[in-house]
Amino acid sequence: MGSLKLDHPQENNSNSSPMQMTSALDPVEFRRQGHMMVDFIADYYQNIDKYPVLSQVDPGYLRKRLPESAPDNPEPIETILQDVQEHIVPGLTHWQSPSFFAFFASNVSIAGFLGEMLSTGFNVVGFNWVSSPAATELESIVMDWLGNLLRLPKSFLFSGNGGGVIHGSTCEAIVCTMAASRDQMLSRIGGDNIGKLVVYGSDQTHSALQKASQIVGINPKNFRAIEATRSTTFALSPESLKLAISSDIEAGLVPLFLCATVGTTATTAVDPLGPLCDVAKHHGMWVHVDAAYAGSACICPEFRHFIDGIEGVDSFSFNAHKWFFTGLDCCCLWVKNPGALISSLSANPEFLRNKPTDSKQVVDYKDWQIALSRRFRAMKLWLVLRSYGVVNLRNFLRSHVKMAKLFEGLVAMDQRFEIVVPRNFSMVCFRVSPWVATSKGTPTTPTSNSFHQNGIEDNVEKCTNEVNCKLLEAINASGRVFMTHAVVGGMYVIRCAVGVTLTEEKHIAMAWKVVQEHADVILKNHGDDGDAKLKLPLLDKIA
């Protein structure tokens, strides 16, 4: 089959007579419409770089275009697909566009897509083993496969009495592990002491930690976002953790849970797992590692050191739906002590009683997660691992890292810009730099020049932030690329996160060209003359 032509939708005969319910899953019709949809999506990928990456619609655009109520009568798939093309596609921000460099990517692949099709087609609800043994068993098997690829200690694998489970999101993984740790702790110190429990992360930790903490009933006053500074490249310092814990203990509180991050959202900083565990374990805390984005990279030997110290933690999660080609949603969580999860999350109503469960020979994943229902998510992970093989998967990840290096190199060659933190993985944090490049070769920085005068440096930072904010807005409004920002150590930085399956080196070169072009305009508007001898933008504002 070739591209999909929708110019002449077939007449819909269903309006005249009521449909049979079984026709809603009639294999012949399923085949016809399924093939049509494959072509529609293949066409979408073929044309994806023609769309503005960031959707350019205004709030409320869709309500103006759609009817006020659901139709009484059926509409043909051809009409619906035309509407998708005309009304939905313009409202998409194209996460699979090769020029999507925002947030972290959520990449998909043919294998991930096919796995999702199978899972949707079977549509089994694998809450316990008996409800679909293959769904449970395949999940346990691929989680062991993946755990081995990450060289996780055996204690995280089923063979070592730990085990892995696929959740929908990191927040869910943290909610579950935190609830488990909370209940373990309360059984030691008494159930009425929930108000004393304290949760720790850094101010670089993903907001999922605070949200999870809030959900499981930790007093909001007992949530600690410890400052991580540029001096540690925004990693959480074990010494700071120690101080925070001591202070809480003195106040009569009980340290409960630490979330360490490998690859923070703002800058891909890596918290030092070993030293942090030494501190936390001294106080009997549960340590979770959130490697949502960067975990995938750790299947490459050269990146594995980023999770050194993992043997000391209680749980570890990463999102295969970010940078492992599965598509949403696929958060892989390993725990050393599944019993703690099960003890907090199990519910055994009579209607689910069955012999395999009673025999205790099987895993019932409903007790490892929030929901009872669960999709057959292992399927897509299995297909990704098999369709590409470990060798190619490693190379895919390396190729993203290589492209990030390329972008980093391009930024470094332009003296108007600064790489803000060392690049660890496939993301580059940069900004228009706050210094005056007095000549091409010798930029002078605020730490060594006259800006260090009282108050002026603050103004320089503020104006620099404004310029970068404007620059990012202009880039994104162009529709040619989409990047997002972070603010670290008071600096507004632009993040270029590489990770989409379709991205090639030419897209990196183009992205940099877009950045430069918009920088030219913005700096020219703010500088004196805009010639080769650059001057600090907005300097006149400061004076």
Near its own copies in 314-343, by CB under 8 A: 319, 321, 325, 327-329
Site for its own copies in 255-274 (CB under 8 A): 265-266
From residue 297, alpha-carbon distances to 199, 400, 403 in Å are 28, 10, 14
- 200 vs 491: CA distance, rounded Å: 24
CB of 331 to its own copies, least distance (A): 8
Regarding 400 and contact with its own copies (CB under 8 A), the answer is yes
Regarding 148 and contact with its own copies (CB under 8 A), the answer is yes
Identify which of residues 65 and 452 has a Cβ nearer to its own copies in the complex: 65
Buried b (16+ CB within 10 A) or exposed e, 106-125: bbbbebbbebbbebeeeebe
Regarding 475 and contact with its own copies (CB under 8 A), the answer is no
Regarding 165 and contact with its own copies (CB under 8 A), the answer is no
- 411 vs 461: CA distance, rounded Å: 20
Give the max Cα distance, the chain.
82
Regarding 539 and contact with its own copies (CB under 8 A), the answer is no
SS3 call for 63: helix
- 433 vs 534: CA distance, rounded Å: 11
**Contact between 276 and 241 (Cβ < 8 Å):** yes
Regarding 189 and contact with its own copies (CB under 8 A), the answer is no
| Candidate list 166, 175, 244, 287; residue touching its own copies; CB under 8 A | 175
Q: Determine the interface stretch with its own copies among 17-25, 404-412, 444-452, 527-535 (rule: CB under 8 A).
A: 17-25
Regarding 477 and contact with its own copies (CB under 8 A), the answer is no
Identify which of residues 394 and 416 has a Cβ nearer to its own copies in the complex: 394
CB of 229 to its own copies, least distance (A): 16
Buried b (16+ CB within 10 A) or exposed e, 184-217: bbbeeeeeeebebbbbbbbebbbebbbebbeebe
Identify which of residues 194 and 536 has a Cβ nearer to its own copies in the complex: 194
CB of 109 to its own copies, least distance (A): 4
Regarding 123 and contact with its own copies (CB under 8 A), the answer is yes
> ∠ CA 338-314-155 to the nearest 5 degrees?
65
| Candidate list 130, 474, 539, 542; residue touching its own copies; CB under 8 A | 130
| Candidate list 6, 82, 110, 461; residue touching its own copies; CB under 8 A | 110
Regarding 87 and contact with its own copies (CB under 8 A), the answer is yes
| Candidate list 6, 502, 510, 542; residue touching its own copies; CB under 8 A | 502
Enumerate the β-bridge partners of residue 436: 444
Regarding 77 and contact with its own copies (CB under 8 A), the answer is yes
Helix 170-189, helix 207-215: angle, nearest 10: 50
Structure tokens at 150: 């990450």
- 270 vs 235: CA distance, rounded Å: 6
Distance, first Cα to last Cα, the chain: 66
- 30 vs 146: CA distance, rounded Å: 34
DSSP code of residue 165 = E
- 474 vs 476: CA distance, rounded Å: 5
| Candidate list 6, 49, 82, 93; residue touching its own copies; CB under 8 A | 93
Enumerate the β-bridge partners of residue 333: 165, 317
Size of the site for its own copies (CB under 8 A): 167
Structure tokens at 2: 């070739």
Q: Determine the interface stretch with its own copies among 40-48, 230-238, 412-420, 425-433 (rule: CB under 8 A).
A: 40-48
CB of 120 to its own copies, least distance (A): 5
Site for its own copies in 426-465 (CB under 8 A): none
Which candidate, 264, 281, 280, 262, places its Cα nearest to that of 272? 262
Identify which of residues 230 and 524 has a Cβ nearer to its own copies in the complex: 230
- 522 vs 124: CA distance, rounded Å: 55
| Candidate list 146, 157, 241, 310; residue touching its own copies; CB under 8 A | 146
| Candidate list 53, 150, 166, 171; residue touching its own copies; CB under 8 A | 171
Identify which of residues 456 and 502 has a Cβ nearer to its own copies in the complex: 502
Regarding 215 and contact with its own copies (CB under 8 A), the answer is yes
Regarding 151 and contact with its own copies (CB under 8 A), the answer is no
**Contact between 404 and 429 (Cβ < 8 Å):** no
| Candidate list 6, 9, 43, 278; residue touching its own copies; CB under 8 A | 43
CB of 332 to its own copies, least distance (A): 13
| Candidate list 8, 18, 455, 543; residue touching its own copies; CB under 8 A | 18
Regarding 33 and contact with its own copies (CB under 8 A), the answer is yes
Site for its own copies in 349-388 (CB under 8 A): 349-353, 356, 359, 361-362, 370-375, 379, 383, 385-388
Regarding 296 and contact with its own copies (CB under 8 A), the answer is no
Identify which of residues 195 and 284 has a Cβ nearer to its own copies in the complex: 195
Q: Long-range contacts of range 391-398, CB-CB < 8 Å, 24 or more positions apart? A: 393/299, 393/324, 393/325, 394/299, 394/300, 396/325, 396/501, 397/296, 397/297, 397/299, 397/300, 397/323, 397/426, 398/300
Regarding 29 and contact with its own copies (CB under 8 A), the answer is yes
Identify which of residues 416 and 495 has a Cβ nearer to its own copies in the complex: 495
